Structure 1
Amino acid sequence: MVSCLYAECFLLAVFFPLLQVGAKNKGGLYSFDVRDIHNQVTSLEQYRGKISLVVNVASECGYTDEHYRHLTEIYNELTIEKNEPFTVLAFPCNQFGNQEPDNNEEILKFAQTNYAATFPIFGKTNVAGRNPDPIYGYIKDSFHSEPTWNFWKYLIDEKGVVINGWGPRVTVKDIKENIVGAIKKLKTKSHGEL
């Protein structure tokens, strides 16, 4: 009897944390907490119900200017002007070529001064390798790929599920049709539920 109880406790101790991780992942990307650009813990739950474009950004990359300009344009057009259920979620990363060496405050100033970026920018994050931030671990596990350079873009649906992903050679303008299509699909679903 005692040995059975011990075995049950052992199994719970080993598998309960795994069940919790699985339960968290069932909530999709929006079930995670992250650090914002001011190093405060914030929940991605506030973006549930929207289509999100998750991007690992860098300030000193050859792709920086084009991507920041296009990210700002699409965010301004879809989110601010048209009030669509869409957002850009930018995660600065210094893992590729040391191209995001600045601190969070300098990163935010760079994005706002040079590109008038108003989309959410989070704290510096590891997006690949052995210890990625949990949201990028989730992306890797669900999409079976991880960023190999700056400006990987992942399209996330309203439930936090990864729809698609593209590397840095694919521009934001190249995927605008995919973004607009995901928004239309979401709005069609929403109207059907009324």
Structure 2
Amino acid sequence: MSIYKFHTNKINGDEISLENYEGQVALIVNTASKCGFTPQYMGLQNLYEQYKDQGFTVLGFPCNQFMGQEPGDELEIDAFCRLNYGVSFPMFAKVDVKGKDAHPLFTYLTEHAPGVMGSKAIKWNFTKFLVDRNGNVVKRYAPQTKPIEIADDIKNLL
């Protein structure tokens, strides 16, 4: 089992298989545009630019489950990310990351990388999951973990 078995919709609505990212190290993040952690988009973009030529990508999944901090539609989210943070890494359609309607990818991620004290639930925006080139979940990071703090773990997988 790996993340490559999942399908999702890109931010433009087109369905895509995560097999398209096979062989890359990926940082999967649930994002929001109106969150105290939103400036992390800049750090995520910096990581993407620094390591993309070595086989790294960031996969952003907007989510509106935490105090309604991602209220816009996909066009608004895409424009916000590009205009305010220069985001060029892949962004996807809004998803639920917890609860009965959680996207199966996030159910898989939380099963394979539980949080503090074994908690499987995602507690807030900008929870991050590092995935190796084989699609295996390697590590989970709390929302307050700054993207730059993940750089050494990314380098080790590249």
Q: TM-score range by the shorter chain?
A: over 0.9
Q: TM-score, normalised by structure 2?
A: 0.94
Residue deviations 1:14-49, cap 9 Å, x none? xxxxxxxxxxxx2x0111110110112111101010
Q: Does 1:170 align with 2:145?
A: yes
Q: Any stretches of 5+ residues in structure 1 without a counterpart?
A: 1-25, 184-194
Partner of 2:82: 112
Structure 1 residue ranges, 4+ long, deviating more than 4 angstroms after superposition: none
Equivalent of residue 44 in structure 1, options 8, 18, 21: 18
TM-score (norm 1): 0.77
> Does residue 154 of structure 1 match 2:149?
no
Q: Which amino acid aligns with 2:70?
A: E
Corresponding residue for residue 131 of structure 1: 101
Higher RCO by CA contacts (8 Å cutoff, separation 6 or greater): 2
Greater radius of gyration (CA): 1
1:76 corresponds to 2:49: yes
> What RMSD over aligned residues (CA atoms) do the two structures have, in Å?
0.9
Deviations 1:125-146 (A, max 9, x none): 1011222101001112222323
Counterpart amino acid of 1:152?
T
CA contact (8 A) 1:55 1:90 kept: yes
Residue in 1 that maps onto 2:31: 57
C-alpha contact 1:59 1:99 (8 A) present in aligned 2? yes
Structure 1 or 2: more helix by fraction: 1
Tell me how far apart the structure 2 counterparts of residues 104 and 179 of structure 1 sit (CA, whole Å).
28
How many residue pairs get aligned? The number is 153
